[in-house]
Amino acid sequence: MARSPLALADASTVRREDLIATDQVFPDRVGEIYHLAHDPAQRWYYAPLMTPDEILLIKGWDSQTDGRARFTPHAAFDLPDTPADAPPRESIEVRTLVVIEH
The DSSP call for residue 59 is -
The pLDDT tens digits along the chain (102 residues) read 788 999 999 999 999 999 999 999 999 999 999 999 999 999 999 998 888 899 998 998 898 899 889 999 999 999 999 998 999 888 888 888 888 887
Of 60, 51, 54, 49, nearest in space to 8 by CA:
60
Q: What is the pLDDT of residue 97?
A: 85
Judge contact between 20 and 33, C-beta under 8 A: no
Domain count across the chain: 1
Q: What is the pLDDT of residue 29?
A: 97
Domain that holds residue 89: 1-102
Q: What is the pLDDT of residue 31?
A: 95
CA dist 90 and 96 (Å) reads: 20
Q: What is the pLDDT of residue 20?
A: 96
Of 22, 92, 13, 83, nearest in space to 50 by CA:
92
